[in-house]
Structure 1
Amino acid sequence: MKKITVYTQPECPPCEITKRFLTESGFSFEIKNIKTDRKARKELIETYQSYSTPTIVIGDTVITGFDLEKLKIELNIQD
């Protein structure tokens, strides 16, 4: 299984939906809060060229913003 990292911040409803979806689908993931973790914020901007949350990194794939369909495709989840 590929490592999953979710870049998030407080007061972000799409972030909460993404985390809930991953949890309910049985996936383990790392949470990086860009408001409290300067290193995570720098990593999000410099490594992934993203300024928005959620940004989900699955292996080498980066999904910027809330996109449940892309997430399902990347995780091979079928409805």
Structure 2
Amino acid sequence: MSQVTVYTTQHCPYCLSAKSLLARKGVTAIEIDVETSPQRLAEMLQRSQRRTVPQIFIGDRHVGGFDDLASLDRKGELDALLHA
């Protein structure tokens, strides 16, 4: 299974939704809280070119936010990415 990284903050409902969807898929994501670490926030900005959370990476591929993740799941493409 591919490594999944999720950049989050503690009070973000979309972050919770993303983690919940991934958990239903059997994925234990690496969660990086950007709220408590300016260095991690800078890392997220550099990797994703986006300022909002969550920012989700499957392997080295930037998936985007929760809406993007959910869209991949609805299209039936998420499982293939997770098991690549």
Q: CA deviation at 1:46?
A: 1.4
* Inter-partner Cα distance in structure 2 for 1:75 and 1:42: 29
Query: 1:45-64 to 2 correspondence within 5 Å?
Result: 45-64=45-64
Unaligned runs of 5+ in 2: none
Whether 1:37 aligns to 2:37 is yes
Determine helix, strand or coil for the equivalent of 2:18: helix
Name the TM-score, length of structure 1 as normaliser.
0.83
* Inter-partner Cα distance in structure 2 for 1:47 and 1:74: 20
Which is helix-richer, 1 or 2?
2
* Inter-partner Cα distance in structure 2 for 1:75 and 1:43: 26
Q: Paired residue for 2:5?
A: 5
Determine helix, strand or coil for the equivalent of 2:80: coil
Percent identity reads 29
Name the TM-score, length of structure 2 as normaliser.
0.78
Cα RMSD, aligned residues only:
1.6
* Inter-partner Cα distance in structure 2 for 1:16 and 1:74: 18
Q: Paired residue for 2:79?
A: 75
Q: Which amino acid aligns with 1:42?
A: A
Q: Which amino acid aligns with 1:18?
A: A
**Count of residues in Structure 1 that have an aligned counterpart in Structure 2:** 76
Determine helix, strand or coil for the equivalent of 1:2: coil
Q: CA deviation at 1:24?
A: 1.9
